[in-house]
Amino acid sequence: MIINIPENSDFSIHNLPFGIFSTEDRSPRAGIAVGEHILDLAAVAELDVFEFNTAVLEKDTLNDFIALGKSITKKVRIDIQHWLKDEGSILAGKPELFVLQSEAQMHMPVSIGDYTDFYSSIEHATNVGMMFRDPENALLPNWKHIPVGYHGRASSIILSGEPIHRPKGQVLPKDASTPVFQASARLDFELEMAFITGKNTALGETVSTAEAEDYIFGMVLFNDWSARDIQKWEYVPLGPFLAKNFASSISPWIVTMEALEPFRVAGPAQEPKVQSYLEFDGNKNYDINLEVALQPDGAEEQIICNSNYKYMYWNMAQQLAHHTVNGCNINVGDLYGSGTISGKDENSYGSMLELAWMGTKPLQMKDGTERKFVQDGDTVIMCGHATKDGVRVGFGEVSTKVLPAK
């Protein structure tokens, strides 16, 4: 191996995710995570080994590189995989091609033109329905017929490591008839993953479930921050607004669908039978272990959730097919959140709303405090990885600290 990759690294030779990085002497550019290092793709291009216009590797987003198509992006990844394994390859004896991740600054990997968030975990939707509606009819009538979603705010999607301020808005206090304006007292995280599209469509075109994977470049970890008290007051009749658009956090490395191929699994049985445009063949879910840790200010972090992406009721192919079935056009770099990922066990619930059951079952922290919702000074850290037959492909982390309201 050209470079040492620590055992159990998220960024194994089987992964090689793409991102945008910079250092003191390197402007933002495309790179690939390899163990604790980043391979500088713009520097590799100077060796004249790529058969495309490599100026796209010197840009500060991956959009133009992704837009070249999977025939090129897949070949880049496969070539580098081979070169890293070959001690006599063009990478050998060239340490200047590599940068330590600890010495680099990561940037938003793509320019996100549009962002959609789905609501596709049946366990999460059921839990929320039980809390806020009739427990006997927790799911709304449309839930098992369509991948429910809403259009979110792309401008407030931020990178891991960037803190957020507690949002303010209107809240209706318990037993009150008139709302008050205040900082949210029920700030929450939502454990999600998100996929990024790699092809454009024209207005009026549709993408079938059979074609969808050709349009999906890769995935990131996603924290869809939510202000539950603001949301409860505002969501009728048009759904989330200020409770969601103040911030959403993503991890910096885009893991390609090719790297995730070994981890395909069957999803939950879908009953009743879905509409024909939502039918699909093969395994469309992915076995990706997910973890959420909460770190109080100045204290030790504590794992509070263990979940898995394989629990999703609606898969990515169905989400994209439904998104475009009305002719909605999509673009390279658009981002699509999965919706909160909850499992059947209480420790697999993907939000504080569920973990502390709307504040009735506070989480006990190692520092002696308790949590009903996220407090100022808390850092929420989400991690994810897939493992099978000794192969590990991970996403790194998305970490965000909560600051007091401005």
Hey, what are 59's tokens? 């840009």
The per-residue pLDDT for 88 is 95
Catalytic residue positions, numbered: 124
Identify the CA nearest to 191 among candidates 98, 108, 309. 309
**What is the per-residue pLDDT for 160?**
98
**In angstroms, what CA-CA distances link 83 with 31, 166, 216?**
15, 46, 26
- Specify which residues 159 forms β-bridges with: 250
| 38 and 55 together in one domain | yes
Residue after which a domain boundary falls, among 75, 107, 139 = 107
Has residue 68 been placed in a domain?
yes
In a domain, 88, yes or no: yes
Q: Are residues 99 and 168 in the same domain?
A: no
**pLDDT, mean over the chain:** 97
Which tens digits make up the pLDDT trace of 46-90? 999 999 999 999 999 999 999 999 999 999 999 999 999 999 999
Residue 155's pLDDT is: 98
- Asked if residue 55 belongs to a domain, the reply is yes
Q: Which residues contact 348 (CB under 8 A, 6 or more apart)?
A: 123, 305, 306, 307, 308, 311, 342
Handedness of CA 193, 191, 242, 134 (dihedral sign): positive
Amino acid symbol at 132:
F
Rounded mean pLDDT, 170-189: 97
List pLDDT tens digits, range 297-313: 999 999 999 999 999 99
Instruction: For residue range 92-101, list pLDDT tens digits in order.
Output: 999 999 999 9
For range 378-386, the mean pLDDT: 98
Structural domains in the chain (count): 2
Domain at 180, CATH number? 3.90.850.10
Q: Which CATH number belongs to the domain containing residue 39 in this structure?
A: 2.30.30.230
Position 132 scores a pLDDT of 86
242 shares a domain with 332: yes
Residue at a domain's end among 87, 107, 127: 107
| Res 133: pLDDT | 85
Predicted confidence band of residue 294 (pLDDT cuts 50, 70, 90): very high
**Residues in the chain, how many?**
406
pLDDT band at 365 (very low <50, low <70, confident <90, very high): very high
Residue 31 maps to a domain: yes
Q: How far is CA 286 from CA 239, 264, 289, 314, in A?
A: 29, 5, 9, 12
The 3-class secondary structure across the chain, one letter per residue, is CCCCCCCCCCCCCCCCCEEEEEECCEEEEEEEEECCEEEEHHHHHCCCCCCCCHHHHHCCCCHHHHCCCHHHHHHHHHHHHHHHHCCCCCCCCCHHHEEEHHHCEEECCCCCCCEEEECCCHHHHHHHHHHHCCHHHCCCCCCCCCCCEEECCHHHEEECCCCEECCEEEECCCCCCCCEEEECCCEECEEEEEEEECCCCCCCCCCCCCCHHHHEEEEEEEECCEEHHHHHHHCCCCCCCCCCCCCEEECCCEEEHHHHHHHEECCCCCCCCCCHHHCCCCCCEECCEEEEEEECCCCCCEEEEEEEHHHCCCCHHHHHHHHHCCCCCCCCCCEEECCCCCCCCHHHCCEHHHHCCCCCCCEECCCCCEECCCCCCCEEEEEEEEEECCEEEEEEEEEEEEECCC
Is residue 103 included in any domain, yes or no? yes
* Mean pLDDT of all residues in 197-226: 98
Pair 120, 39 in one domain: no
- Shared domain check, 218 and 91: no
Within 10 Å of residue 205's Cβ, how many Cβ atoms? 12
Per-residue model confidence (pLDDT) at position 143: 98
Specify the pLDDT at position 228: 97
Domain identity same for 369 and 286: yes
Instruction: Answer yes or no: do 326 and 396 share one domain.
Output: yes
Residue 310: name the closest of 340, 289, 287 by CA.
287
In a domain, 269, yes or no: yes
**CA-wise closest residue to 151 among 122, 114, 188, 112:** 114
Q: Are residues 57 and 158 in the same domain?
A: no
Shared domain for 206 and 190, answered yes or no, is yes
Domain shared by 396 and 250, yes or no? yes
Do 164 and 96 sit in the same domain of this protein?
A: no
Give 220-241 pLDDT, tens digit per residue. 999 999 999 999 999 999 999 9
Question: Does pLDDT of 13 surpass 90?
Answer: yes
User: Region 268-277: what's the mean pLDDT?
Assistant: 98
In a domain, 137, yes or no: yes
Under 8 Å between Cβ of 191 and 305: yes
Using the predicted structure, report yes or no on whether residue 382 has a pLDDT greater than 90: yes
Q: What is the pLDDT of residue 134?
A: 84
Residue-number span of the structural domain to which 239 is assigned: 115-403
Mean pLDDT of 376-398: 98
Query: Can you give the pTM of this predicted structure?
Result: 0.98
238 and 124 part of one domain: yes
Domain end call among 107, 127, 155:
107
Does 293 reside within a domain? yes
Q: What pLDDT, on a 0 to 100 scale, did the predictor assign at position 18?
A: 99
Note the pLDDT tens digit of each residue in 110-124.
999 999 999 999 999
